[in-house]
């Protein structure tokens, strides 16, 4: 189908509306017809900006990642940039759970939008061995994705794990001592992972 010569809607408006549909009703609810109805145009009008639905989905992933994941940091170390970008990535996943499949660490939509090239450049300039760069990023991104998917309501550990029975005294004790905030707990786990990677780097 040919694209209209005159755009009836703006590209950003299409992507923002698509994200709204996904957030409220899920990925399955998004179609070109539904999107056109929301925007007050025919589905054909969307072809001025997009070749197909997949291109719109890539736009949605790019919108969320560039707006909510990529930090605005100047002069940061690679460690600082990685920690903040991963924490923001997790927050974006929690804020847009229906769009999470578009933002998988290895998903096609998100692949070229995560700030990997910039982070890797910082890492290499700081002397991080080449063979450790990708595993560091991979472990951090997977940890953030798993954290968001396994705890989508962002509950503290005390509410996620129900302890029953008299024979679980120690489990009850450690849960009581665990950080109350899910964000604080994730930050601690992330910093522990980073400490392990820095130790490996130092031992190279």
pLDDT at 1: 46
Q: Are residues 132 and 45 in the same domain?
A: no
Q: Are residues 20 and 106 in the same domain?
A: no
pLDDT at 197: 98
pLDDT at 177: 93
pLDDT in tens, the chain (204 residues): 445 555 568 889 999 999 999 999 999 999 999 999 999 988 778 888 888 999 999 999 999 998 999 888 889 999 999 999 999 999 999 999 999 999 888 765 555 556 788 899 999 999 999 999 999 999 999 999 999 999 999 999 989 887 776 788 898 899 999 989 999 999 999 999 999 999 999 998
> What's 2's domain CATH number?
1.10.10.60
Q: Are 7 and 49 in contact (CB under 8 A)?
A: yes
Q: Are residues 95 and 40 in the same domain?
A: no
Q: Are 152 and 97 in contact (CB under 8 A)?
A: yes
Q: Which domain holds residue 188?
A: 72-202
Q: Are residues 116 and 24 in the same domain?
A: no
Whole-angstrom distance, CA of residue 98 vs CA of residue 4: 31
Within a domain: 143: yes
3-state helix, strand, coil split of the chain in percent (to 5) is: 70, 0, 30
All residues at 6 or more sequence positions from 133 whose CB lies less than 8 Å from its CB, including other chains? 120, 123, 124
């Amino acid at each position: 189908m040919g694209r209209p010569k005159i755009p009836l809607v703006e590209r950003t408006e299409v992507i923002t509306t698509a994200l709204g549909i996904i957030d409220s009703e899920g990925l399955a609810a998004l179609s070109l017809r539904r999107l056109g109805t929301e925007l007050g145009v025919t589905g054909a009008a969307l072809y001025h900006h997009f070749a197909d639905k997949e291109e719109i989905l890539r736009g949605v992933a790019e919108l969320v990642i560039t707006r909510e994941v990529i930090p605005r940091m100047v002069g940061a170390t690679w460690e600082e940039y990685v920690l903040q970008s991963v924490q923001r990535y997790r927050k974006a996943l929690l804020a847009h759970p229906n769009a999470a499949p578009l933002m998988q660490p290895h998903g096609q939509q998100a692949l070229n939008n995560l700030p990997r090239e910039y982070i890797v450049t910082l890492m290499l300039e700081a002397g991080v061995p080449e063979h450790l760069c990708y595993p560091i990023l991979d472990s951090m991104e997977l940890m953030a994705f798993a954290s968001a998917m396994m705890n989508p309501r962002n509950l503290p550990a005390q509410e996620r794990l129900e302890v029953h029975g008299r024979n679980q005294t120690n489990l009850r004790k450690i849960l009581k001592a665990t950080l109350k905030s899910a964000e604080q707990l994730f930050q601690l786990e992330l910093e522990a992972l980073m400490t392990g990677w820095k130790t490996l780097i130092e031992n190279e």
